[in-house]
Amino acid sequence: MADREIYPSTPLALVVAEIRHPAALPLSDSARSQLKARLAPLFPLAKPVQRVTVTPTQTAVSTDVRFMSRDRTCSVTFRDDVIVVETTRYERRRVLRNMLREAVLARQEAAPVDGVERLGIRYVNEVRVPGLESPREWAGWIAPALTCPLALTTVNGLETQAWQGVTVLGDAQYGVVVRHGVFDGYAVNPVGDLQRAAPPPGPFFLIDLDCYWTPSGETPPLEWELIDSRFDEASLAAYDLFEQLITDKLREEVLRHEG
């Protein structure tokens, strides 16, 4: 399957691949050591992360197993009910697939889980245009499907200055959730645990694509052969949709230029 174009000035700030599975027991010390050894070539740094869960009756703090690359642009996290691979330095679909594959194989060798309940691949794009002075100018860079609120005015001449929305394509089993809108600053924290080469803060157009697949009927076993084809379907759906949501002007004048 051919690679799609990766723009020199990509707006991608974060890519997340996630596999949800039935809740499992916390990982033992032996399982954690096995995961670390298996994943060392890709994620040599152990970086446990604390997670706070708030319910109406209590607040619980748990520690998730997480490993990171040496440059801290990629990580894999194992929670009781999910495997998460994240990167702020997206290269190619096959690179992300390989990281997710290694995470799945490592988990199933160290402490197997009972099945797969959802596959999700999320692409968070911060589209920035140098010299943008007004939200109304986004109409030249982003497709009408996401800039249609610009047509709204009031009887006394007030114009649209900001908007955001959520669009769902597909159904409960397979689809894409598109979160979009005009924002300022960052969608992805530039000083978080994952490092990113962040531009100066300023206005950006968010195109956040969450592609998902959920099994219908019974819960199938978590095997890489099942995930592999679904991975391509989800990632290519995101790519093709993103291309529909931007204009040729953005491609030629911004995305295809270095820096």
Per the structure, the count of domains in the chain is: 2
| Whether residues 140 and 27 fall in one domain | no
Q: Please say which residue of 69, 97, 117 terminates a domain.
A: 117
User: What predicted TM-score, i.e. pTM, was given to this entire model?
Assistant: 0.92
pLDDT tens, residue by residue, 44-55: 999 998 888 777
Q: Say yes or no: 128 and 229 in one domain.
A: yes
Q: Which two tokens stand for residue 128?
A: 């920035």
Residues 211 and 136 in one domain: yes
Same domain, 89 and 156: no
Token code pair at residue 127? 């589209």
pLDDT in tens, 166-189: 999 999 899 999 999 999 999 998
Residues 167 and 251 in one domain: yes
Q: What is the mean pLDDT of each run of 10 residues along the chain (259 residues)?
A: 76 96 93 96 93 80 92 96 96 92 96 95 95 90 92 78 91 93 93 87 95 92 92 90 95 88
Residues with Cβ < 8 Å from 4, sequence gap 6 or more? 93, 236, 239
Closest CA to 110 of 29, 47, 23, 193: 29
Place of tokens 């020199």: 8
In which domain, by residue range, is 236 found?
A: 122-255
Residue 26 located in a structural domain: yes
The answer on 237 and 166 residing in a single domain is yes
6 located within any domain: no
189 within domain boundaries:
yes
Residue 163 and residue 181 share a domain: yes
